[in-house]
Amino acid sequence: MKKILVANRGEIALRIMRTARQMGIQTVAVYSEADRQAPHVRFADEAVLLGPPPSAQSYLLGDKIIEKALELGVDGIHPGYGFLSENADFARKVTAAGITFIGPDPHSIEMMGSKLAAKEAAKKFHVPMVPGIEQAITDVETAKEIGRKVGYPILIKASAGGGGKGMRIVEREEDTKEQMERAISEAISAFGDGSVFIEKYVTGPRHVEVQIMGDRHGNVVYLFERECSIQRRHQKVVEEAPSAILTPELRKAMGEAAVRVAKACDYVGAGTVEFLVDINREFYFLEMNTRLQVEHPVTEMITGLDLVEWQIRVARGEQLAFRQEDLQIHGHALELRVYAEDPLNNFLPSVGTLSTYRLPEGEGIRVDGGYTEGMEVPIYYDPMLAKLVVHAPTRTEAIQKMKEAIAAYEVEGVSTTLPFGRFVMDHEAFITANFDTHFVQHYYTPEKLIESHNPAAEVAALLALNLYLKEKDQLKVAEREASHWGRRAK
């Protein structure tokens, strides 16, 4: 592979191109009119304009991307995450054009894209599943029967959904009809597919996902787990590896279950198997994401592997150079997603210009970003500025390092989730690893954020320090003047 086109933008496009360059591979960026000056465009060896800012007229134009790739003699396309990354048709067209798709085969993407097909495949491989059914249902009476069998509350999920889209909780049997009708009509309008299924609703679960990697020679390994329970409205904000609640036995059981899911769909490359872990530490398969995930750096930190490098190597037909028994967890990693959002105003996107933008640096600190000082945050795309990642020998030290990194991260011009990150790092429930997916609902309010970090107190402290330094200078002068009188008592 000599030339890779990255069909993406921002931090992930940059991150992929950095590894490609290290491997001696040429890079091609694609960009929209909003991204003409973006770092991923400047970094690439070549760049092609796709069209106007909206994704549908730029980053989602699969045919145009393939056409440009062919013109430029590209031999591999990496889709990153989002956009075309889990589009089986795109993967198929890339391959048909004689270009290597750096990702799994289209049939794996398709199978895991259908939550029902995924559950059916996983069930055959004895992967634990939430009680419920693995068939599409339309009949309210059948739904009620399942509800009675597994116990309420139940969750109606859209087969074509995922990531929390198209889910409805049913608390009591008498609400089943209404919620089911809603779920079906939402699924039809959102996905063009009204298939829904039912699971028992697991209360207070943790979201733990397992990173897997497979090659074209039948090898699949798990690269341990990421704890992703700190999220708001299905948007993850803090992730960590390893999870503080897994025992070595549970880690092995979940890892092996994830490998079976991968084998169930002939998976090749980097993938993630999502599980729920309940209060009794029982785990259940949820879905599989057939892409490189946003939070992959925490796995890289604890394994020492470059996941993009292995995606590329596997795509060009190499065997994995490590077996399961070669892999070990080193230390603890945390990631904070730094969004241009206002945590004091319901996390609404905060657009504007980054008038000040300085990144923390230091050992064990990694920032995957796509912004520099003076840039504007475009309204057209995901408002993530960067991922702040830290790595330390222990979880406690990682939390400390994250707090220092947050303090050293300077942003002016837009609001960010940095103060929210500090709130999490300071929270008793996070420190003791005693939290679930409801952390934000349970513990977070803007008032608490202000309380936990009173800017007025900080200003007062700074003023006091300033005054002290000035006085110290005056004291020094006074001391010097007084010195010929002999030593003074301090």
Positions in the binding site for ligand MV4 (CB under 6 A): 130, 155, 162-164, 199-202, 205, 207, 231, 234, 274, 276, 286-287, 437
Please report the beta strands in 340-383, taking only residues with DSSP state E, as ranges in sequence order.
341-342, 348-349, 356-358, 365-369
The two three-digit tokens of residue 385, written as one number? 């500025």
Active site residues: 291
Q: Give the number of C-alpha atoms closer than 13 A to the C-alpha of residue 337, restricted to the C-beta side.
A: 23
What does the alpha-carbon distance between residue 139 and residue 146 come to, in Å, rounded to a whole number?
A: 11
423 DSSP 8-state letter: H
Q: How far apart are the first and last CA of the chain?
A: 71
Which contiguous run of DSSP H or E holds residue 186? helix 176-191
291 Cβ contact partners less than 8 Å away, ≥ 6 residues apart:
79, 80, 81, 85, 86, 103, 270, 271, 272
In this structure, the number of other CB atoms found within 10 A of the CB of residue 410 comes to: 13
How many alpha carbons fall within 13 Å on the CB side of residue 487? 2
The token pair at 471 is 């006085």
Only one residue has tokens 């959904």, namely: 161
Contact 386, 359 (CB under 8 A): yes
In 79-205, which ranges are E strands?
100-101, 154-162, 165-170, 196-200
Q: How far apart are CA 60 and CA 63, in angstroms?
A: 9
Cα–Cα distance, 20 to 311 (Å, whole number): 11
Please name the helix (run of DSSP H) or strand (run of DSSP E) that holds residue 381, with its range, or none: none
Which is nearest to 384 in space by CA: 344, 429, 414? 414
Other C-beta atoms lying within 10 Å of the C-beta of residue 52: 13
> How far apart are alpha carbons 311 and 78 in whole angstroms?
9
Strand partners, 410: 358
409 torsion bin: left (phi>0), alpha (psi -120 to 50), beta (else): beta
Selection from 289, 279, 259, 269 nearest residue 127 by Cα = 259
Q: Are 385 and 338 in contact (CB under 8 A)?
A: yes
Q: Maximum distance among all alpha carbons in the chain? A: 99
| CA angle, residues 168, 171, 173, in degrees to nearest 5 | 105
**Residue 282 or 306 having the CB closest to ligand MV4:** 282
